[in-house]
A and B are shown apart, each in its own frame.
Chain A
């Protein structure tokens, strides 16, 4: 019985730590937003960022070979930059500066994936455009889940 109570208390504290870390890492709405719409505003900011990330992946392989393809290829990194800067700017307005721990790891992974996708997109022909579009949908969904804190292994606090 006592073990159960101690376990429940410990689980509550672990959950508290998880929530605090996510609150510092995920995009947060500005202070002017009322509490009632805060959740939807945060969700909208994450969705906009995810749209940019997914759009960037889809764009790097679009267009006919030549100038058109290069223009799409240039638009990709711009979308990736927007996907990173949207949540970062939202955090900065909120008074949170820089990333630490898993937030930083996720950003580094995002940057590496973006670089690889741009290189792959550069040499991709029009026949791969649909595959990149599908990858874009998957990447956007994954980025959204990551920003909202849904990608946490086994429900444990990420170290």
Chain B
């Protein structure tokens, strides 16, 4: 799935082109979920919930949004008598996250350069 990018509300990049931010990650929670998943192959639902400090329904809602866009895969694994839910960042999610972070970094650099000049 292609990233649905929106125009940035940030300052322009060094070459004049405005950095493009991913709309999905304008939610800090979704950005944090994907960033956390980008450090591992898979993570238990509980681990993500604990790190993000979210309630189960809240995390489920955000994961559903990410899964619908093809950024996160949700799987089930057997663990004794129970099943565990595992989350995984897809290749698309990874590349969109990297592009989003690169755009953010561009905004930071641009603002820093602007401040130095001014």
A contact set with B: CB distance below 8 Å: 3-4, 6-8, 10-11, 13-14, 16-17, 20-25, 31, 91, 94-101, 103, 156-157, 159
Q: In the complex the two chains form, what is the Cα distance from A94 to B51 in whole Å?
A: 10
Q: In the complex the two chains form, what is the Cα distance from A40 to B33 in whole Å?
A: 25
CB-defined contacts of B112 to chain A, threshold 8 Å = 7
| A106 nearest CB across to chain B (Å) | 11
Which secondary structure dominates where chain A touches chain B? helix
Q: In the complex the two chains form, what is the Cα distance from A156 to B43 in whole Å?
A: 24
Q: Mark B87-118, 1 if CB is under 8 A from A, else 0.
A: 00100001001100110110110111011000
Contact A14 B43 (CB under 8 A): no
- Tally of A-B residue pairs with Cβ under 8 A? 113
The 5 closest A-B pairs by CB, nearest first: A7-B111, A24-B39, A98-B41, A95-B47, A95-B44
> Which residues 41-82 of B have a CB within 8 angstroms of A?
41-44, 46-47, 50-51
CB-defined contacts of A95 to chain B, threshold 8 Å = 43-44, 46-47, 50
CB-defined contacts of A7 to chain B, threshold 8 Å = 10-11, 107-108, 110-112, 114-115
Q: Closest chain B residue to A98 by CB distance?
A: B41
Contact A94 B47 (CB under 8 A): yes
Contact B39 A21 (CB under 8 A): yes
Partner of A20, one of B35, B42, B46: B35
Contact B39 A23 (CB under 8 A): yes
Q: In the complex the two chains form, what is the Cα distance from A25 to B38 in whole Å?
A: 9
B15 within 8 A of A: no
Partner of A6, one of B38, B41, B51, B111: B111
| A12 nearest CB across to chain B (Å) | 9
Contact B40 A100 (CB under 8 A): yes
Contact A6 B43 (CB under 8 A): no
With A13-B31, A14-B101 as contacts: A20 and B111 at CB distance below 8 Å: no
Contact A17 B31 (CB under 8 A): yes
Contact A16 B32 (CB under 8 A): yes
